Amino acid sequence: MLTTHPFDDDKLREECGIFGVSGSSGAAALVALGLHALQHRGQEAAGITSFDGHLFHTHRAMGHVAGNFDRDDVIRALPGDVAVGHVRYSTTGETALRNVQPLYADLSTGGFAVAHNGNISNAMKLRRELVRRGSIFQSTSDTETIIHLVATSNYRTLLDRFIDALKQVEGAYSLIVTTPEGMIACRDPLGIRPLVMGRLDDAVIFASETVALDVCGATFERAVDPGELVIVQGTEIRSIRPFQEVAPRPCIFEWVYFSRPDSIVDDHSIYSVRKGIGAQLAIEAPVEADLVIPVPDSGVPAAIGYAQQSGIPFELGIIRSHYVGRTFIQPGDKVRHLGVKLKHNANRALIQGKRVVLIDDSIVRGTTSLKIVQMMREAGAAEVHMRIASPPTRHSCFYGVDTPERAKLLAAQLDLGGMTDFIHADSLAFVSIDGLYKALGEARRADIRPKYCDACFTGAYPTTLTDQDESATVDQFQMLAERVV
C-alpha cells in the first residue's frame, strides 16, 4: 500500500501557492521556477496556464513541480508572455485532475484562468444557487464558484463582473487571474492569505511568498494590500479598492509554520519571528535540561530561539533524511512501524542519558509528538520535555487550511495534563496566545479586535461561515429526527 509518511500526517497543511508573471518572454518557465519555491505550500498537484496573445495553453498534473514541469517539451507547449501557476494541497474538493488549478473557462468576454489560495466559506450555498440557475460545474473545487459568478454577472465589463463575483463570496482568497485583457491579482478584504508583487526587468510578478521572487531573481516591491485589486495590462499597472475597508486579519499561522523561513510576510522575517517565538516560549515555560532539540525542519528556528534565551545547548538530536519522498511502501505492520525511521532518526550518541527539550511548531492530532517522544526514549533520553511554538490548536480552520474536524484535535479533547500523558512526555507546554503576538511585536487585547486571524487557537473566526453553519444545522436536524424515530 502506498501511503503518506507517518511524520507528515500530523501537520496543518496550507491549501496552495500561486505565482503569476505578466510581460516576460517565456513566462511559463519563470512560473515553473516560482512554483518550485512554493512547493511546500502544496505537494498534491501543480498546473500552469499561459497566454500567447491569442490562445490559452494549460498543463496540469498530479504530483510535484519537478517531474511535471522540468521538461523542455512541457514548457515549449506553454508559450506566451503571460502565465499563472498553482501548487495544490486540497482542502475543498476531491483529489482529482479536474480540481487541479489554474481552472480555465471560455466566457463571453474571452478566456479566463484563475489560481486561488484560500477557501470560499459560502461556496456550497453559492453553488446550489448557481446550479438552480443553470450553471454546469466541471469540478468540485470552491474556486470554480468564482468563475460561474463572473460568467453569470449582469455587469458589462469583465472587471466589473469580477468585482461583482468577489462581493458575493465569503472567506479567504488570494487570486491571480489571467484574461485577454490582462492579469488581475487580489486579496480578500481581510487579507487572510498572503500575496506579494515583484519586478523582473519589465515583467510584473505576483507570488504567495517573497521566496518565490528571490528564486527567479525578481525584486520585491510590496505586498498586495487586503481588499486591493492590481490590474496589469501591458506596461500599465493600476490599483483599485472596490470593497469597504475593514481592519485586516492575516493568518497568524503563516509565521508559525506555513511560510518558508526565508520569506518576508507583511514586513516580518519569518525566520526572526520563529526565533522570537522560541525565545518567548523559553521565558514562559523554562525547564532544567541538557539539550534543546528541534523537530526537523519546521521546529529549527524556534529551537534556536529557545536555546539562546535559556542558555541550554542547541543540538540536532533528530536527523532527517532528505532523500526520502513523501510516500513509501508499507507491506506490513512491522515495516510500517520501522518506516518512521526512514525520514527521521534519533542521534543516539548525543541523546543517551540526557534531559532533552523537544521543540515543534504545533500539535494537531498528537500522533507525531507521541512517535518523537517514543524515539527519544528508545535512544536513551533520561527525560523528554515537549515545548510547542504555538498555542494549542483547538479549532478547525475554514480559510484554506486542511484541519481535521475538531473531534480529532488533541487540544480540543484533552487538557494539558491529558495531552502530556497522551504523548508520554515528562512535561508539555505551549507558547501563550499573548506570547505569540509579542513575538510579532504586537499585543493581543481582549477588548479590541485582534490584528491576526488566530481562530485555530481561539475560535474567533473573522468572517461568517455560511456553509459550516448550514452543515451544523442539517446535522442537528438529522440528530433530532433520529431521536424522534
Beta bridge partners of residue 111, listed in sequence order: 106
**Contact predicate 85/216, CB 8 Å:** no
- Please give the backbone phi and psi of residue 373, each rounded to the nearest 5 degrees, phi first: -60, -45
Angle formed by the axes of helices 143-152 and 123-132, nearest 10°: 40
Spatial distance between the Cα atoms of 398 and 484, rounded to a whole number of angstroms = 32
The single residue of 16, 186, 251, 456 carrying the catalytic annotation is: 16
Q: ∠ at Cα 460 (459, 464), nearest 5°?
A: 105
Tell me if residue 453 is catalytic.
no
Measured in whole angstroms, how far is the alpha carbon of residue 392 from the centre of its chain? 18
Cα-Cα end-to-end distance for the chain:
42
Nearest to 69 by CA among 89, 47, 52: 47
Greatest pairwise CA separation for the chain in angstroms: 73
Sign of CA dihedral 453, 458, 462, 466: positive
Query: Contact at 8 Å (CB) between 368 and 318?
Result: no
Taking Cα atoms as reference points, which of 315, 271, 279, 272 lies closest to residue 387? 279
Selection from 320, 378, 324 nearest residue 344 by Cα: 320
Residue 371 gets the label, from left (phi > 0), alpha (psi -120 to 50) or beta, of alpha
Amino acid (1-letter code) at residue 166: L
Q: Which residues pair with 66 in a beta bridge?
A: none
Cα–Cα separations (whole angstroms), residue 225 to 3, 6, 194? 39, 38, 9
Among residues 421, 60, 451, 17, which one has the least CA distance to residue 251? 451
Strands (E), 241-382: 264-265, 268-269, 291-294, 318-320, 327-329, 344-346, 355-360
**Taking each helix axis from N to C terminus, what angle separates 143-152 and 158-166, rounded to the nearest 10 degrees?**
130
Contact between 330 and 339 (Cβ < 8 Å): yes
Catalytically active residues, by annotation:
16
